[in-house]
Structure 1
Amino acid sequence: MTTPIFMFPGQSSRYPELLSRLRGSAPDELAATLGEASSALGRDLEVHYRADNAAMFVTNRDVQVGVFLANHVHLLALERRGVRAPLSLGLSLGEYNHLVHVGALGFVEALQLVDARGTLYDAGPRGEMLSVFPLPLAELEEVVARAREHGVVEISGYNSPSQHVLAGEPAALAAASDIVREQLGGECVTIERHLPMHSSLFEPVGAALAPLLQAARWRAPRLPYLPNVLGAIEPAPTPARLVELLTLHVYRPVLWRASIEAALRRYPDATFVEVGPRAVLHNLLTKRWVSAKRLRTDLDTPDHYDALAKELCGSL
């Protein structure tokens, strides 16, 4: 028997059909989620997240809300079929789905925080983010040290042994990219052209979010809380500690590799299930790093949730 561990993706998993394609596979969960979310935020999200809406992701607020909602629909579809996970984790934005799953926040409370968080991000400092691979950490640290003469550049995501994310000012990221490509033979992909998330440049955004986090209705988590900024299970997830960690979460690096390895130490028999759009987290778990089985929810086949439930639970 295997132990399911849910992984909730972040903003880079967005695509135009992330919600509309769920009409075929999870229509009830989609309708309920969009209805509740539209009422909570006071705008028609079903209309906004139609695949033909060219303005769907114009703002970061809309990106964050869209991915958060898609993750939640996928979670509901699994839970309706009896799939339960004793542990979960979420990358960046996905940590808010993780908070809902572990019981620290209700769905509406988390949605409202995500909506406000996105608004603050839109008003935050400008910058960029760059995915770098396949480069060992030691080499990337040398790149960052050299590129800093051109401006702020920091490692903002430790995603796997060979894939990391840089964030900072455009000139410094361009210098880092040149070194990686021309001198080290690595690859770089720009994943964000406006916001230097999870870097020190975003500390003012964390300060602005903190009062909203303090005002949230926190609950005692029923499952372990595994925050990005620790890469380990938080032993005392009090409301004050949750606020502290989620404030830091805005401008500190994502320790995804450490988080995955912490999950494996707790459940060596884990099957990792990406619960959300695309397969970004699924694909990070290369066999050279993690031998555990990996599954994902964002598939085209109409009965794929049933197939996942059968594989994970043995029966429907």
Structure 2
Amino acid sequence: MSKIAFVFPGQGTQFAGMGKKLYEEVNEETKKSIDEIFSNLENEEVKRVLFEGTDEELKNTKFAQPAIALYSVILTKLLKEKGIEPEFVAGHSLGEYSSLYAAGVLSEIETMKLIAKRGDIMSNAKVDGSMAAILGLSATEVEEICSNIDGVIEAVNYNEPKQTVVAGERSVLEANLETFKEKGARRALPLAVSGPFHSSLMKPVAEVLKKEFDNYNWNDVKTPIVANTTTNLLVKADEVKDELYHQTFGPVKWVDTINKLAENGVTKIYEVGPGKVLAGLIKKIDKSIEVINIENVESLENI
């Protein structure tokens, strides 16, 4: 029997005024849910930026993460109200945190509180590093090149068969972009990010996040989560917390994640959140999977 999965996007799909747009599109009951979320966030500035902030402000991890997650959480809530339930969930990086609500691990308010806190912690992390997307080489080739470079540079996001993101020390990364091209990469693109996310350099940040986890009420998983770092199916609250800790300085195995969903009978995936980035990646991993984008309220009405 064919199965359904929900997947949730990571950072990079934010846009100015996105909070206001969502708020104006939803019904009165959902507006109350959004109001309650904002009333529970410690940082009152988040609402202002999500509703009125500029593109530049939204690039800040502190605001980008709760902005994207708000869409994922609210649109998931509305999808479920339409009777659409997933058999599995997964998220790309930040998206793994958005999946906590869909999987029944945290309430919508606690999911948003944790993500806002994560964005704040990551934006304040003093880790000198960066990231770059390597296009046109296999993941194995990228790993091999990284292993022969002096300094910290690691394959961290396995996005599609011929696109792998590397992260590491800024000076090392900048000095070696041409190395990837010399070895056959079609492109080696620096990413506009504030740190070397998912690399071993983020271990100190993971320790801070781990302490933050103690402030939330975790439930065992109702809908299995496919873990970013291992593609294991997570079903216990402790497994989820352990994955989120390791994900901070561990890889996002997106190719393996989609293959895992397919192996478990998933034939339809809803990408829940702004943008269509994951849909593009999924089509390059497994063309047989149907992908439906739920990026706004209008998308829901078209189901």
TM-score scaled by length of structure 2: 0.90
Deviation per CA, 1:223-256: give whole Å up to 9, x if none: 112221211213x51x333322211111111111
1:60 aligns to 2:61 (yes or no): yes
The 8 Å contact of residues 230 and 253 in structure 2, kept in 1 or not, is answered as yes
Q: 1:219-230 maps to which residues of 2 (within 5 A)?
A: 219-230=219-230
| Residue correspondences, number | 301
- The change in CA–CA distance for 1:304 and 1:183 in structure 2 (over 3 A counts) is same
Distance 1:189 1:20, change over 3 A: farther
SS in structure 1 opposite 2:18?
coil
Q: Where does residue 280 of structure 2 map in the other structure?
A: 283
Q: State the shift of 1:102 in Å.
A: 0.8
Question: Could you say what secondary structure the match of 1:19 adopts?
Answer: helix
Q: Any unmatched runs of 5+ in structure 2?
A: none
Change (3 A) 1:65 1:304: closer
- Distance in 1 between residues matched to 2:60 and 2:66, nearest whole Å: 10
The letter of the residue matching 2:221 is P
Partner of 2:9: 9
Matched AA of 2:68: V
Q: Is the 8 A contact 1:33 1:69 kept in 2?
A: no
How far residue 109 of structure 1 moved from its aligned partner, in angstroms, is 1.6
Aligned with 1:184: secondary structure? Answer: coil
Amino acid of the structure 2 residue aligned with 1:40: N
277-286 or 109-118: which moved more?
109-118
Quote the Cα distance in structure 2 between the aligned partners of 1:283 and 1:184: 23
CA drift of 1:40 comes to: 0.4
Deviations 1:57-82 (A, max 9, x none): 25322111111112112212322322
Secondary structure of the 2:198 match is: coil
- CA displacement, residues 163-196 of structure 1 (integer Å, 9 cap, x when unaligned): 1111111222223421233441412333343211
Asked if the contact 1:34/1:46 (under 8 Å) is kept, the reply is: no
C-alpha separation in 2, matches of 1:215 and 1:303: 35
Q: Tell me how far apart the structure 2 counterparts of residues 138 and 101 of structure 1 sit (CA, whole Å).
A: 33
Partner SS for 1:20: helix
Q: Is the 8 A contact 1:161 1:289 kept in 2?
A: no
Kept after mapping to 2: 8 A contact 1:9/1:281: yes
Partner of residue 271, structure 1: 268
CA separation in 1, counterparts of 2:203 and 2:298?
44
Match of 1:50, SS state, is helix
Aligned residue identity for 1:295: I
Amino acid at match of 2:143: E
Among 106, 130, 133, the residue aligned to 1:131: 133
The reply to whether residue 118 of structure 1 matches residue 119 of structure 2 is yes
* % identical equivalent positions: 24
Q: Does 1:106 align with 2:107?
A: yes
